Amino acid sequence: GIQVEQSPPDLILQEGANSTLRCNFSDSVNNLQWFHQNPWGQLINLFYIPSGTKQNGRLSATTVATERYSLLYISSSQTTDSGVYFCAVVHGSGNTGKLIFGQGTTLQVKP
Amino acid sequence: DAGVIQSPRHEVTEMGQEVTLRCKPISGHDYLFWYRQTMMRGLELLIYFNNNVPIDDSGMPEDRFSAKMPNASFSTLKIQPSEPRDSAVYFCASSLEGRRGELFFGEGSRLTVL
């Protein structure tokens, strides 16, 4: 099956710093999403981005499908950005929304 | 608009008891997914439905687990009998268009089996 690898596994930032999280996948994908799991365990949709670039406030994401990677940029980080960031992809033909998750990047933003 | 609604949010039970988790997908969504999250295995897909029909249950751990979707607005995940290793957070998600659709997750049901 498809492999989804996220890096780095852990990241500690000082408030105000910028960061880039990476997601590599081993085969072509039909869908790619970024999620933030907050300290309360909620999975929050950040981006649906099978290709191209999107921005939402301090966050932006870029997926280069032909090179099989996606990047999540966090600028001017805040303590509320802490949590786990997951990349998830849909792979294969047919009408499935079967998301395969990476292992996540755990981000801690210190005040 | 209401998101995916799951209940209960927390469940503590004793080994051997039956557990039923419930999910109401977003209205109009035609795909429903059950995921399980543990520290050891991360997020794994258990089963998913399309138009109330189970499509892929290859992730269901064993016969103790069963899932149903009697109508477009309700699904259950049942564990009988429960075991301590079933302790996890169980998420339900729904999407509008399976292949390229965007998944929306509920808040999860945290299960502890003693």
pLDDT by residue (tens digit) across B12-27?
Answer: 999 999 999 999 999 9
Least confident of A60-64, A93-97, B31-35: A93-97
Q: What is the pLDDT of residues A21-79, one digit of tens each?
A: 999 999 988 889 999 999 889 999 999 999 999 999 999 999 999 999 999 999 999 99
Q: Once rounded to an integer, what is the mean pLDDT over residues A72-92?
A: 94
Kindly give, in sequence order, each residue whose CB lies less than 8 Å from that of residue B15, ignoring residues fewer than 6 positions away.
B81, B82, B83, B84, B113, B114
Alpha-carbon B6 to chain mean position: 9
How many angstroms separate the CA of residue A86 from the nearest CA in chain B? 10
> What's the confidence (pLDDT) of residue A84?
97
pLDDT higher than threshold 80 for residue B99: no
Using a CB-CB cut-off of 8 Å, the residues of chain A touching B99 are 30-31, 90, 94-97
Q: Which residue has the tokens 């596994």?
A: A9
Residue A95 has pLDDT above 60, yes or no: no
> Taken in order B24, B26, B31, B33, is the CA torsion positive or negative?
negative
Of A45, A98, A100, Cβ closest to residue B48: A98
The answer to whether B50 faces chain A, any CB pair under 8 Å, is yes
Quick check: B107 and A42 CB within 8 A? yes
Instruction: Give B-chain residues touching A88 at CB under 8 angstroms.
Output: 43, 103
Binned at pLDDT 50, 70 and 90, residue B97 comes out as: confident
Task: Report the residue of chain B nearest A37, measured CA to CA.
Answer: B107
3-state SS track over A22-89: EEEECCCCCEEEEEEECCCCCEEEEEECCCEEEEECCEEEEEEHHHCEEEEEECCCCHHHCEEEEEEE
Tell me the percentage of chain B whose pLDDT exceeds 90.
85
Alpha-carbon A19 to chain mean position: 12
Tell me the chain A residues in contact with residue B97 when contact means C-beta distances shorter than 8 Å.
Answer: 97
Name the helix (H) or strand (E) containing A21.
Answer: strand A19-25
Considering CB atoms only, which of A86, A88, A95 is closest to B99? A95
Supply B106's token pair.
């509920």
The overall average pLDDT reported for chain B is: 93
Chain B: closest CA distance from residue A107 (Å):
16
Q: Which of A99, A103, A105 to mutate to test the interface with B (most CBs of B within 10 A)?
A: A99
E strand segments, chain B: 5-7, 10-13, 19-24, 31-38, 42-50, 53-56, 65-71, 74-79, 88-95, 104-105, 109-113
pLDDT at A45: 93
> What pLDDT, on the 0 to 100 scale, is given for residue B3?
94
